Chain A
């Protein structure tokens, strides 16, 4: 077997050194009844070629969004990733390292995470960021728990226009810890009065910007309303490219930002793995979940980096830790940081501008179609349209023709009024004029 270097002779020699008659001897602490005599009922070993063939056949049963005109978004976005990103993250020194427990031989990982933390802090407009979370949804849930610890309160107000998966994950975490979440009815026809739901026991208010329907809002007044009663404002960002064009959550005085970083450097991967981002104020760092990298010096006085403030973490604090998270999203964070480094200020803001311009172009064309209405006043690269027919059926029909028209709101948020006819349409730098022509033609035909 190609992954197993021991030879039969070596196995015998090693058993002799150990003083065991057979390998079975080494398993003697396993209760007799639980020792399997034979291999389990699964196929035997396969060569690389056979596995490649079988998995390629499975992959071929999918029509990937990267191979068709696609306007899918709702928390996962198709962007163009420069070739250097994937090449660099596959360097064995990055790919096959563990968590950087030995800083002297892990400066590569530690330095890129320090740079990553800085970039995340910069784009979110916050003072500090951690070294990543599993994904945006779990980052959001952890942010709510963190707000609970900071304020020592156990109620949270969740916007109805928060991505339903984020709300559901936060609700799960909250339920088991006895926190109460309040959410107004999700309604795209009006803006929510979240400030009106805040009371003296509110730990935090959670809003998404751009929100689930793609709308933008200034959250400064909401932040003020939170701060007036000692609550925190958490802003969720599911499309980080937006931060190249719109005012950052930090500039709106958010206390914690929880974001999904998939858009930079990372493939769609059917939704995972991706990378959760978490940023906050310096004064709250001791309540942050997850790894943090800090700068220090070595015994020769040279700058270096280490994992730090680990007394927050499970391996030291056990049941009193700020979170149970251990493994996070290191390699996805690397892809994110390399992509953002390649873009730089110029490229990142340009990428955001191209996304927005393409979205505006498409929105204007769609608004001109009979029976179709763009419901957003404002948006970044994703907006909601109302169709004259149920969106799910339209999407299915067009998918059959090799076109991904968008995400039907009814799939994620059936409880919103009029959900059946609503379609979320995302547009990125990857969408060509030709893609847009096909969408326009497709919608005309499917909604006729």
Chain B
């Protein structure tokens, strides 16, 4: 390979080196023309700001160019396959975006009189109805802001229900394969977390679970399909054991995409489950959010759901906004205003587009695509657990043994091939995990290219070309970054150069 051209500007063709906005400062410049403020005697009570804030000044064309150039340094599902296991990076339909921007949704203030927001309340109700029918659960708490926030809400509901029956319990059981948010949410709800091991089939060790259950266990939190991409085949027995111990069965619904329209969590004995709308229901993840994490609930837990919630009667829709107004037993409030309503619009547009038949097809194609990857790569990579898998295929790093190449190195080489890597080193139950989730929105042609690429890289690794992997990626806006230095001496903001 010839060395990359060294340019005078540092730019490389379409790849521009882009300084920080603070380094583009043209003092006094602005990209927004505002009117002269009316001359008034200020009423700031002597608290007017003194001195400059230090914000840079840029014109509109400079701003547009800055962010456009930054955008070009990002990988995205719009650009290619993003098989980040557990994150469900599926196509984000643009109809969703258009609907969310209808002034009748985007322009509504949260504290308008309810007579003027009947459509917004109907939207919350309709989104909840779809989620309720798809999960078979009678109630939904709509306000949590993301998956982890839904976990916390669900656990608070459980704790409130237990305390209401005079049965304060101390522990929450979480499988060791669980996402980090599960134990963190349980701790944030004031519980002691106990880890339950997996068995050799990648499922919860039922014996260990039964041994850990007891009168002080509030809940068992299970991800199903689990983070190894496997359906917990003992789930009915698990539910019975959890209930027999007087505990509640919480399900992390992050992987609902695998079963939507084919299996209803209610039929599995689940009491409570959050749904990440930004996974199963295609709302964009936006480089880190916003998310939305409605929690579906059994009849027994429904009364404890937080405020606000929507009710309807012959006069239309109404909001119950405070604990005092409620005739149920809400544990409190978990978020400002009424939830991530703008995300509900997107999720509802998606659910209506697919319908009951299309959503079922989503689960089937997601599972089919993942099994196709598993079948095509099982002889090239190494597989910790027997298939079939559900929506994601899990591999471990045994295939890299003695090659000098790590899972991380392997992933970095995938980047040069134009693919976003899979999830790595998660779940923790597998050594050097590679968790691939293609989703249903990838075509067979894309999967075949991906498979050929992974096979080629595996061959290269096994062929002894470790240096190639250690030096990857080479074709990206930045090459490997020094994360250790970043953490040792944290520079978390720009500061003016000392002179």
Contact = CB atoms under 8 A, between A and B. Distances in A.
B478 A298 contact: yes
Nearest to A290: B288
B334 A172 contact: yes
B312 interface: no
B356 A346 contact: no
Interface in B33-68: 34-35, 37-50, 52-58, 60, 63-64, 66-68
Contacts of B491: 294-296
A172 B156 contact: yes
Contacts of A46: 352-353, 355
Contacts of A88: 64, 67-68, 71
Interface stretch (A107-115, A200-208, A225-233, A437-445): A107-115
Contacts of A223: none
B196 interface: no
A330 interface: yes
B356 A44 contact: yes
A341 B58 contact: yes
A292 B58 CA distance: 25
Interface string B104-145: 111111111101111110110010001001100000000001
Q: Interface range on chain A: under 10, 10 to 19, 20 to 34, or 35 or more? A: 35 or more
A268 B108 contact: yes
Given A4-B358, A39-B357, A270 B77 contact: no
Interface in A123-182: 123, 127-129, 131-132, 134-138, 145, 163, 165-166, 168-169, 171-173, 175-178
B259 A30 contact: yes
A128 B439 CA distance: 38
B434 to A, nearest CB: 14
B336 A260 contact: yes
B18 A111 contact: yes
Nearest to A90: B97
Interface in B299-339: 306, 321-322, 324, 331-339
Given A20-B388, A168-B333, A378 B45 contact: yes
Interface string B371-405: 11011100000000000101000000000000000
Q: Which of A14, A74, A100, A356 counts the most chain B CB atoms within 10 A?
A: A14
A268 B109 contact: yes
B223 interface: no
Contacts of A115: 20-22, 494
Contacts, number: 723
Contacts of A321: 180, 184, 187
Interface stretch (B205-213, B241-249, B340-348, B455-463): B340-348
B54 A122 contact: yes
Q: Which 5 A-B pairs have the closest CB atoms?
A: A271-B337, A59-B104, A331-B286, A330-B288, A378-B45
Nearest to B447: A14
Interface in B157-193: 159, 179-181, 183-190, 193
A173 B478 CA distance: 40
B452 interface: no
Interface string B59-86: 0100110111011111111110010100
A39 B263 CA distance: 10
B45 A165 contact: no
Contacts of B27: 345
A333 B67 CA distance: 13
Contacts of B479: 104, 298-300
Interface string A86-113: 1111111111111111111111110111
A333 B180 CA distance: 24
Contact of A75 (B116, B117, B263, B337): B337
Given A26-B390, A137-B336, A317-B184, 16 more contacts: A36-B360, A98-B89, A109-B288, A117-B493, A128-B492, A134-B289, A134-B335, A269-B341, A270-B110, A327-B291, A353-B37, A356-B37, A357-B38, A378-B43, A399-B116, A411-B111
B332 A168 contact: yes
Contacts of B296: none
A89 to B, nearest CB: 8
Could you say which of B101, B110, B133, B190 has the most chain A C-beta atoms within 10 Å of its C-beta? B110
Contacts of A341: 21, 31, 56, 58, 63, 66
A320 B262 contact: no
A175 B289 CA distance: 27
A61 B187 contact: no
B498 interface: no
Given A10-B444, A67-B103, A97-B286, A102 B31 contact: no
Contact of A169 (B333, B441, B492): B333
A422 to B, nearest CB: 14
A358 B38 CA distance: 7
Contacts of B219: none
Contact of B190 (A19, A177, A343): A177
A293 interface: yes
Contact of B123 (A13, A58, A346): A58
B130 A42 contact: yes
Contact of A52 (B99, B185, B356): B99
Contact of A97 (B190, B285, B353, B362): B285
Given A19-B375, A319-B187, A350-B37, A55 B357 contact: no
A36 B184 contact: no
Contacts of B183: 314, 318-319
B287 A100 contact: yes
Contact of B134 (A40, A296, A317): A40
B396 to A, nearest CB: 19
A134 B343 CA distance: 13
B337 A82 contact: no
Nearest to A57: B119
A345 B288 contact: no
A140 B414 CA distance: 41
A270 B120 contact: yes
Nearest to B187: A319
Given A23-B367, A61-B104, A176 B189 contact: yes
